[in-house]
Amino acid sequence: MRVMVTGGTGFIGYHTVLALRAAGLEVSLLVRSVAKMERIYGKGVITHYTEGDIGDADSVNAALEGCDGVVHVAALVSTRAADADRVFQTNLEGAHNVLGGAVACGLQTIIHVSSVTALYDPSAALLDEDSPPGPNPIGYGRSKVACEKYARSLQAEGHPVYITYPATVLGPDAPEMTEAHTGLETYLSKFVPLMSSGTQYVDARDIAAVHAHIIQYEVPSNRYVLGGHYLSWKALAPVLESITGSKIVTLPMSGGLMRLAGSLADRLAPVLPLDLPISREGLNYATQWAMLDNRRVETELDFQFRPVEETLADSIRWLYQQGEISARAAGRLAL
C-alpha cells in the first residue's frame, strides 16, 4: 500500500511518515524542496516523491498517481493578521487540490488533518467531532473553517474522507522549531504567563499513530478529535518544575489586556519593521481555550495519549540537544 503525504517535511507530517513506514507501508511525498526532504530523512531514504506545491493541481495529481491513500497535512500556518488573506487562499486551494484530487482518483482512505481552530468557539463548554465549524473565525482559523466545510461536504457525499483535529502539538524531533516549541522555550528560559484559561497538548507521535491506524484499518467514525491533555496556565509552571527540577518564573497577566495587546499588534504590524510575536487570534486561543473531548478516539480506537509529562520532558530534552535552551533551563533533563 502506498500513501501520499503532504507536509512531510513539517512536524506532524514527519512523524506521520515515520509511523507509516514503521507499519511497513510505502510512502510518497509531495515536497516543495527535495534538498530539505533529503536533509530531514537522508538521501535516498524517500524514493517516491514529487517536487511541487499543494497550490498546483498538476503537481498534486502527479503525487497521487499510484497511491492508495493520502494524509493531507500541509498548510500555511500563521496567526499574523497581515498573513490572513494569503493563508486563506493557500490552505483552501490546497484542500481542494489534494482532497478533491484524491476523491477523483478513487483513493480508498483520505485523511485531512484539520485543527482545533476549525471548531474553535470560546462560548462552547466542550468541542467534539460533531461540533459545527467555528463561528466568526479570523485569520488562520478562517482558512481552517473553510477547509473543514469542504472536507465535510465530501464526507456528506459518501467519500472516504477522515478528519483529525490536533490541539497544540509538541514532542521531540521536529524538522524545525514550531510556535509551540518556541513557546516552551519561553516558559523555560523566561517566564510562564499566568493568564486565564490554558491549552491542550498533544504529542506529534500520538497524532501519527492515529493516522497510521486509520490508514491501515476500518474505523467506526470519520472524524477524530486529538486533544491530548489540558493544562491551565497556573498548572503549567508546577509541571515544568517537577520535570526539570528548576524554578520556573511566573508572571500574572490579564487575559483581556493580552487580547487587547494582540489587537494593537495586528494594527501596528503593517507599519512596523518588527515581526511582533503576538496577535489577537493567537491570544484568543491562549486565553479563551475551548476544551476538546477525546472520548471518541479513546473508546473507538482503544487509544491512549501518552502522559503530558512525557511529551514535555521529551520536548525539553530535544530543545536542549538542539541548542535551543541552556542546561540551566533544561535542568535535570540536561544530564
At 276 the pLDDT is 65
pLDDT-wise least confident of 66-75, 80-89, 255-264: 80-89
Q: Which residue has the higher pLDDT, 81 or 96?
A: 96
DSSP secondary structure, 178-194, as one string: -HHHHHHHHHHHT-EEE
At 4 the pLDDT is 98
pLDDT tens column, 258-268: 899 988 887 88
Q: Which residues, 6+ apart, have CB-to-CB distance to 40 below 8 Å? A: 9, 14, 175
pLDDT-wise least confident of 25-34, 60-69, 261-270, 300-309: 261-270
Q: Which of 299, 308, 300, 296 is nearest to 128 (CA)?
A: 296
Domain ranges of the chain: 2-176+201-229+290-306
Q: Which amino acid is at 239?
A: V
Which residues is 230 bridged to in the sheet?
A: 200
**Would you say residue 278 has pLDDT above 90?**
no
Give me 244's grid cell.
526539570
Fold of 2-176+201-229+290-306: Rossmann fold (3.40.50)
CA atoms within 13 A on the CB side of 214: 28
Residue 86 contacts residue 76 (beta carbons within 8 Å) = yes
At 275 the pLDDT is 66
Supply φ then ψ for residue 229, to 5 degrees: -120, 135
pLDDT-wise least confident of 11-20, 82-91, 325-334: 82-91
At 273 the pLDDT is 64
Residue given cell 484524491 in the structure block? 102
**Would you say residue 195 has pLDDT above 80?**
yes
pLDDT-wise least confident of 69-78, 80-89, 192-201: 80-89
Give me 269's grid cell.
504590524
3-state secondary structure of 130: coil
At 213 the pLDDT is 98
CA pair distance 174, 181, nearest whole angstrom = 9
pLDDT-wise least confident of 86-100, 176-190, 217-231, 269-283: 269-283
Supply φ then ψ for residue 315, to 5 degrees: -65, -40
